[in-house]
Amino acid sequence: MVFAILGGGFAGLAAARELDKRLPKKPSYEIVLIDRHSYTTMLPSLPDVAGRRVEPDRVKEAITSQLPKRVRFIKEAVEYVDFSTRTIQMGDTELVYDQLIFAPGSRANFYNHSAQFQKNLKLDNLDDAIMIRDSFARALFNVEHLNVVISGGGFTGMEVASNLYRYAGFLERSCSIYVVDRNRTILPALGDKRSNYIMEQMSRLGFQFILDTEVSDYADQTVVLNTGEKIHDAFFVWCSGVKLAIPARGHQQQIRDDRIIVDSFLRIPEHPEVFVAGDAAAVKAGDTYLRRAVNFAAMSGKIAARNAVAALQGKNLKRFKPIDLGWVIPLYTTSVGEAFGMKTQGRIGIPLHYLMCGIKNYNAKNISSYAGYAIKFSFARPFRKYTGD
Ligand SMILES: Cc1cc2nc3c(=O)[nH]c(=O)nc-3n(C[C@H](O)[C@H](O)[C@H](O)COP(=O)(O)OP(=O)(O)OC[C@H]3O[C@@H](n4cnc5c(N)ncnc54)[C@H](O)[C@@H]3O)c2cc1C
């Protein structure tokens, strides 16, 4: 009997530990975890890596060091999964499972843009963050004044923008920051009042918001907007939406952003031997769906695994009841967030962000580094004279 886990992120690792705990320790029960990387990543720290605030080693940990001994790890990139035939396709090989925990997270969605456009910088993983960091440093020294254009005013876009702004100041180079978004506001889920607060704060640093507008193309360091306007000497990063990291074939239902609809036990109703966890799952939360978050990923991984074992043993399944501890979006010298149901904004969110990343960060060395960041970055001062305004 093969229990496969697809993805070694927060959800997949939590699932592996739970399967190990609940499955009888017999050779007939095999647990396999597949990931394209040999390491797991603290994704909320990627914008810090892109802005050279945090070193790459502080955001990753070997997957095998996090797995119980009996779990077999396969390092392979999965092309697709077919729920109808219960197969996971990896290059020339395939794995047939009996029960699956599907937890591959998400990746950038370029929608209908060309294959060439899809080569633009994005922030899916640690390699992307390092690529942004290094090419940004080079770009800053190639022109007198660089125009940073971020497509997407969601949390990733805003965090990338503020980290690159800081990095340019640190290197004493001049740049302008443009955030382009198709909506009429940034961070629309926060409501007008809080979005306006962030726009006001960031405008003081010289950020410019181009709203109700989309990026149509980027070539030869020139960004073309759908209004026909062009931004030259541009450094461009795409942060405009995500989709399921691994294409899934089968009879499952998916919502507009690609996440798979599950029942309250995290099971795909059309494929009851598949449980979905983390960013890949569309979990109903009132009128909407649960946001993507580390805590929900870890909690859902655990419940998905517990239910996969219970289903096999004919026992009652447990409903997934997520506990929301809050969230924070750090933005260089300010932040916006919610902790234990209370709204927060301003500098207070900055140490909260680093403390959260530290607590979840796999080993003692990383945790202590993050405690240091929490103190150091809470007192950051803007590099005003380098904004170019
Ligand atoms: C820039 C950024 C900032 C964020 N900030 C916050 C924050 O402040 N607070 C918060 O709570 N959440 C934040 N999130 C969201 C949070 O990181 C995710 O909700 C969480 O990581 C989801 O966990 P997961 O296990 O579902 O997926 P992931 O952590 O994405 O893990 C998925 C795993 O699947 C693997 N995988 C993907 N595709 C393949 C493939 N084809 N083949 C094999 N393996 C594959 C990946 O390598 C990865 O290890 C942020 C996310 C990003 C990108």
Which atom of ligand 1 lies at the shortest distance from residue 294's CA?
Answer: 11
DSSP 194: H
Query: Parallel, antiparallel, or unpaired for β 106-108 and 215-219?
Result: unpaired
Q: Is residue 34 helix, strand or coil?
A: strand
In this structure, which amino acid lies at residue 168? A
State pTM to two decimals.
0.96
Q: Is 166 in the pocket of ligand 1 (CB under 6 A)?
A: no
Q: How far apart are CA 103 and CA 33, in angstroms?
A: 10
pLDDT one-digit tens code per residue, 28-64:
999 999 999 999 999 999 999 999 999 999 999 999 9
Q: Encoding tokens for residue 104?
A: 């591959």
User: Could you give the domains of the chain?
Assistant: 2-36+76-108+242-312 (3.50.50.60), 117-240+326-386 (3.50.50.60)
Query: Parallel, antiparallel, or unpaired for β 174-181 and 208-211?
Result: parallel
Q: Is 51 in the pocket of ligand 1 (CB under 6 A)?
A: no
Which pLDDT value is given to residue 10? 98
pLDDT of 385 higher than 80: no
Which pLDDT value is given to residue 389? 40
Which atom of ligand 1 lies at the shortest distance from residue 103's CA?
Answer: 26
Q: Is 78 in the pocket of ligand 1 (CB under 6 A)?
A: yes
- Check if the beta carbon of residue 204 is closer than 8 Å to that of residue 192: no
Q: Is 160 in the pocket of ligand 1 (CB under 6 A)?
A: no
Q: How far apart are CA 133 and CA 163, in angstroms?
A: 10
Helix (H) or strand (E) holding 351: helix 349-359
Quote the ligand 1 centre to 8 CA distance (angstroms): 9
Which pLDDT value is given to residue 386? 45
Q: What percentage of the chain reaches a pLDDT higher than 70?
A: 98
Q: Length of the chain, please?
A: 389
Q: How far apart are CA 135 and CA 131, in angstroms?
A: 6
Q: List residues bridging with 174 in a β-sheet.
A: 145
Q: Is 12 in the pocket of ligand 1 (CB under 6 A)?
A: yes
Q: Is 103 in the pocket of ligand 1 (CB under 6 A)?
A: yes
Quote the ligand 1 centre to 126 CA distance (angstroms): 11
